[in-house]
Amino acid sequence: MPLSDAFSTLLALAVTLFVLGLLSRQISLRIQTITTYLTHSPDMAMVTVFLLFLPGIVAHELSHWVVAKLLGLKPSRFRVWPQRQGSHIGLGSVSIRSGGIGLDSLVGLAPLITGTLLVALIGYQVFESNQLLAVLAQGQWPRIAAVFLQAIGAHDGVLWAYLVFAIANSMMPSRSDRQPVLPLLLYLAFVALIYFVIGLPGDIFARFLSWMAPGLQIVTGALVFTILLDILVLVILVPVEFLLAGRYASSAGR
C-alpha cells in the first residue's frame, strides 16, 4: 500500500471518531433537554442519560479499572452512578493511582480503545458494516440508507443496534481522561514531524499501516454505521425537542 493510501486509511478513522464525538455530545444534550421539558427536573434528565447509556458506561469504567489493574496502578472506588460535577455530569468514576504521563494516558484511552473494538466486532459480525464502506467507495450514495436499514432489520438487529449506540456514545474520553493524553499526543506529533522533516524513510510506517489496513477498514465501517445510527436518533430527537420547546415557552408565558 502506498504511503498516501496508508495515511488516507488512518485519516478516515480519525474523521469518523471526530464526527462520532460531536454527534455523541449532541445526543446527550438533547436527551437531557427533552427530559427536562417533560419532567421539569434536571436530576431526572441526568438519570435518564445514565440509564440510556448504562451498558456503555459500565464498559467505559470497567476499561479504566482493568487497564489500571494490569498496569499495577491499584484502582479503587469503582462507581457507576450519575453525579453532578459543576457544569458537567459524571456518570461514573474509578480512583486510580498516577503512574506518569505514559501509563495515565493508556488508562485514559482504555475506554476509547475497548469501545471501538466492541463496536467493530458487533458491526462486522452482526451488521456486516464493511458493506457500508464498499457502497461509499463506489459512490452509491442512494444505497447507503437501504444498506443501513437492512442491517438493522436483521435478526435481533434492534437490540444489537442499541448496544452499539450505548457503547459508542459512552466511549469518548472524558475531560479527566484527556488530561494526560494531550501532552503525550503533542510529544508524539513533534517526534513524527522531526522524523519526516529529517527525511527518514516512511516505508516502515507504510508497511505497518498496510498490515493494519484490513482491521482499520473494519473499524471505520463500524463507526460509519454508528454515525448513521446517531444521525437517525438525532432526526427523531430534534423535532421532539423543537415541539416541546414551543409548548414550554407557551406555558411559561401564561
- Tell me whether residue 16 is in a domain: yes
- Tell me whether residue 63 is in a domain: no
Please give the model's pTM, rounded to 2 decimal places.
0.85
- Tell me whether residue 59 is in a domain: no
- Tell me whether residue 64 is in a domain: no
- Tell me whether residue 142 is in a domain: yes
For residues 49 and 34, the answer to whether their CB atoms sit within 8 Å is no
Q: Which segment of 90-99, 137-146, 149-158, 222-231 scores lowest on mean pLDDT?
A: 137-146
Overall number of domains in the chain:
1
Supply the pLDDT for residue 22.
93
Given pLDDT bands bounded at 50, 70 and 90, which one contains residue 151?
Answer: confident
State mean pLDDT over 157-182. Answer: 85
Pick from 231, 217, 238, 219: nearest CA to 148 = 231
- Tell me whether residue 148 is in a domain: yes
> Per-residue pLDDT for 205 more than 70?
no
Supply the pLDDT for residue 252.
57
Q: Which domain holds residue 116?
A: 3-39+109-248
Q: Which segment of 23-27, 42-46, 111-115, 183-187 scores lowest on mean pLDDT?
A: 183-187
Question: Which letter, b or e, does each residue of 41-61 get, where b requires 16 or more Cβ atoms within 10 Å of its Cβ?
Answer: eeeebbebbbebbebbbbbbb
Given pLDDT bands bounded at 50, 70 and 90, which one contains residue 81?
Answer: confident
Supply the pLDDT for residue 146.
84
- Tell me whether residue 196 is in a domain: yes
**∠ Cα 117 112 73 (to 5°):** 110
Task: Show the 3-state SS of the chain.
Answer: CCHHHHHHHHHHHHHHHHHHHHHHHHHHHHHHHHHHHHHCCHHHHHHHHHHHCHHHHHHHHHHHHHHHHHCCCCCEEEECCCEEECCEEECCEEECCCCCHHHHHHHHHHHHHHHHHHHHHHHHHCCCCHHHHHHHHCCCHHHHHHHHHHHHCCCCHHHHHHHHHHHHCCCCCCHHHHCCHHHHHHHHHHHHHHHHHHCCCCHHHHHHHHHHHHHHHHHHHHHHHHHHHHHHHHHHHHHHHHHHHHHHHHHHHC
> Per-residue pLDDT for 179 more than 80?
no
> Per-residue pLDDT for 144 more than 80?
yes
Given pLDDT bands bounded at 50, 70 and 90, which one contains residue 79?
Answer: confident
**What percent of the chain lies above the pLDDT cut of 70?**
83
Q: Rounded to 5 degrees, what are φ and ψ at 85?
A: -130, 80
- Tell me whether residue 56 is in a domain: no
Supply the pLDDT for residue 194.
65
